[in-house]
């Protein structure tokens, strides 16, 4: 999972922007909540994602109410709000954001990435509990539920980001400068939304397999046969195919955002250097692109693995099983560093294998696919003698993927009603709801 770098933003005072004689308390509250959020973003080291989630969820309804009021001419501004924004996808860049539409776009992006970062923190705290024999059954079930909560957070994040891309950002783009943060472009926002949804699918697959892994006798490099109660290999393959397609889409969209679909590092950096650079910040854009590409290839390889196991175990077709497994192994060989494979061999001899790093996890999967392929090859050469299709035939016989879940739709809320300014206008405000009166409202996770 990808951990986003929190942005930085300059101050924004609605008390100095908004002309109103009846909304003084609401305007002061909006200014205070915005200032609190700015202070949280300036803390070093960064604050916990949950604090950012709560702060943004408290502030967004006020920003939405002000935005709706301005759109309906119920609230007047002395001038357009302007603030600086240090990018999330490219933390070494800083741009100017103008208008309330820009403010709303930025806050929705912050909300979505904070939800995603909170999911990352939750998953990291779980560890590889599925293969840990010291974890009790009750504790394993509790961690399964935490994994489900993290999946829901990512689905929410995807919905928030998609809403911003389709409903808020188009208004901002009509007045925005050409040079702006990648996450404040349509392609960048859609890339973030697809990535959050893909990460949610990856966690959903993990939760689906967790009970079988907990009962397996070999949790490191399992081979045939499948244990009783294991999820359907065909279902797992289709879920991985859909997850891979989401990561592919995210990679293509983000590449489009930096105008370098297949560009080398130098050309990509030249594009990013058109805006003001902070040399102290890491190059997160390239890291995000690498992450999306790697995860797309990873889930594609796992899809071929389970297609091969489905052919061998369910259809008794060892030939097609071998073809799919060979394709999976070829993809994994391109992903797994040789050093990780060598380290796995040494760790297995010493009994110190863990699921600690991505490289180790991929190395273990490489060993598992090799074990399945070796078993099928031996069976086919001595018993079944099925034709082994060429690898060029495999893509033609690859099924469509299927989703495990969808992005949770996001509904904007208003903290106060424009009835206080113009009753005739307020009657047409569809998103006005009563103001929340307790701490932690809507933070149900």
Mean pLDDT of the chain: 84
Question: If you count them, how many residues does the chain have?
Answer: 445
- What's the CA gap between 248 and 246, in Å, rounded? 5
What pLDDT shows up at residue 74?
84
What is the pTM (predicted TM-score) of this model? 0.86
What pLDDT shows up at residue 216?
66
The tens digit of pLDDT for each residue in 331-346 reads: 999 998 777 666 666 5
pLDDT at 425 over 50: no
Q: How many CB atoms lie within 10 A of CB 188?
A: 28
pLDDT at 427 over 70: no
What pLDDT shows up at residue 157?
98
- The mean pLDDT of 285-296, rounded to a whole number, is 92
- What's the CA gap between 348 and 342, in Å, rounded? 10
What pLDDT shows up at residue 225?
82
Top-confidence residue, 200 or 215 = 200
Q: What CATH architecture does domain 8-17+79-216+230-409 belong to?
A: Alpha Horseshoe (1.25)
**CA–CA distances in Å: residue 222 to residues 212, 213, 330, 359, 384:** 11, 10, 19, 18, 22
What pLDDT shows up at residue 156?
97
Which of the residue ranges 13-22, 115-124, 220-229, 259-268 would you say has the lowest mean pLDDT?
Answer: 259-268
pLDDT band at residue 191 under the 50/70/90 scheme: very high
Percent of the chain whose pLDDT exceeds 70: 83
Beta strands in 58-145 (DSSP E): 76-77, 82-86, 93-98
pLDDT at 281 over 50: no
What pLDDT shows up at residue 220?
59
Q: Let me know: does 309 contact 320? Beta carbons within 8 Å.
A: no
- The mean pLDDT of 304-312, rounded to a whole number, is 95
pLDDT band at residue 270 under the 50/70/90 scheme: very low
pLDDT at 422 over 50: no
pLDDT at 271 over 60: no
- Say what the alpha-carbon torsion angle 105, 192, 234, 363 is, to the nearest 10 degrees: -160
pLDDT at 347 over 60: no
- What's the CA gap between 337 and 122, in Å, rounded? 28
Please work out, in degrees rounded to the nearest 5, the angle formed at the alpha carbon of residue 214 by the alpha carbons of 213 and 215: 90
- The mean pLDDT of 380-402, rounded to a whole number, is 92
pLDDT at 420 over 90: no
**Of the spans 8-17, 50-59, 173-182, which averages the highest pLDDT?**
50-59
The tens digit of pLDDT for each residue in 368-384 reads: 899 999 999 999 999 98
Domain ranges of the chain: 8-17+79-216+230-409
What pLDDT shows up at residue 40?
96
pLDDT at 282 over 60: no
Please give the span between the terminal C-alpha atoms of the chain, in angstroms, as a whole number: 19
pLDDT at 21 over 90: no
Strands 76-77, 8-9: parallel, antiparallel or unpaired by DSSP? unpaired
β-strand partners of 94: 86, 276
- The mean pLDDT of 130-144, rounded to a whole number, is 89
What pLDDT shows up at residue 437?
46
């Amino acid at each position: 999972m990808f951990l986003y770098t929190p942005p930085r933003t300059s101050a924004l005072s609605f008390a100095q922007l908004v002309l109103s004689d009846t909304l003084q308390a609401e305007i002061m509250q909006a200014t205070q909540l915005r200032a609190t959020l700015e202070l949280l973003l300036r803390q070093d080291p960064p604050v916990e994602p949950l604090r950012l989630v709560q702060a943004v969820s408290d502030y967004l309804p006020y920003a939405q109410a002000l935005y709706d009021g301005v759109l309906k001419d119920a609230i007047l501004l002395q001038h357009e709000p302007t603030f600086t924004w240090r990018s999330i996808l490219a933390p070494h860049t800083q741009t100017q954001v103008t208008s309330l539409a820009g403010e709303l776009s930025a806050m929705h992006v912050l909300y979505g990435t904070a939800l995603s970062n909170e999911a990352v923190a939750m998953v990291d705290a779980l560890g590889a509990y599925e293969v840990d024999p010291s974890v009790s059954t009750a504790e394993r079930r509790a961690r399964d539920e935490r994994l489900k909560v993290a999946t829901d957070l990512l689905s929410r994040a995807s919905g928030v980001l998609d809403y911003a891309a389709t409903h808020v950002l188009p208004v901002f783009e009509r007045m925005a400068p050409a040079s702006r943060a990648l996450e404040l472009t349509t392609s960048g926002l859609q890339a973030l939304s697809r990535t959050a949804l893909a990460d949610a699918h990856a966690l959903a697959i993990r939760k689906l397999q967790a009970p079988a892994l907990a009962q397996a006798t070999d949790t490191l490099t399992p081979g045939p046969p499948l244990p009783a109660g294991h999820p359907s290999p065909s279902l797992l393959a289709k879920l991985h195919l859909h997850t891979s397609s989401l990561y592919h889409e995210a990679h293509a969209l983000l590449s489009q955002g930096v105008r370098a679909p297949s560009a080398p590092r130098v050309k990509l950096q030249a594009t990013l250097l058109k805006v003001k650079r902070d040399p102290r910040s890491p190059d997160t854009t390239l890291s995000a692109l690498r992450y999306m590409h790697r995860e797309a290839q990873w889930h594609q390889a796992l899809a071929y693995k389970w297609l091969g196991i489905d052919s061998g175990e369910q259809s008794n077709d060892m030939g097609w099983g071998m073809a799919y497994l060979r394709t999976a192994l070829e993809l994994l060989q391109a992903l797994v560093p040789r050093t990780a494979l060598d380290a796995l061999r040494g760790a297995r001899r010493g009994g110190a294998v863990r699921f600690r790093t991505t490289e180790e996890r991929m190395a273990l999967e490489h060993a598992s696919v090799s074990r399945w392929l070796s078993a099928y090859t031996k069976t086919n050469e001595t018993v079944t003698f099925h034709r082994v299709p060429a690898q060029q035939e495999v893509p033609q016989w690859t099924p469509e993927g299927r989703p495990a879940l969808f992005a949770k739709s996001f509904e904007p809320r208003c903290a106060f009603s424009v009835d206080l300014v113009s009753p005739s206008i307020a009657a047409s405000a569809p998103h006005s709801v009563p103001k929340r009166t307790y701490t932690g409202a809507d933070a149900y996770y």
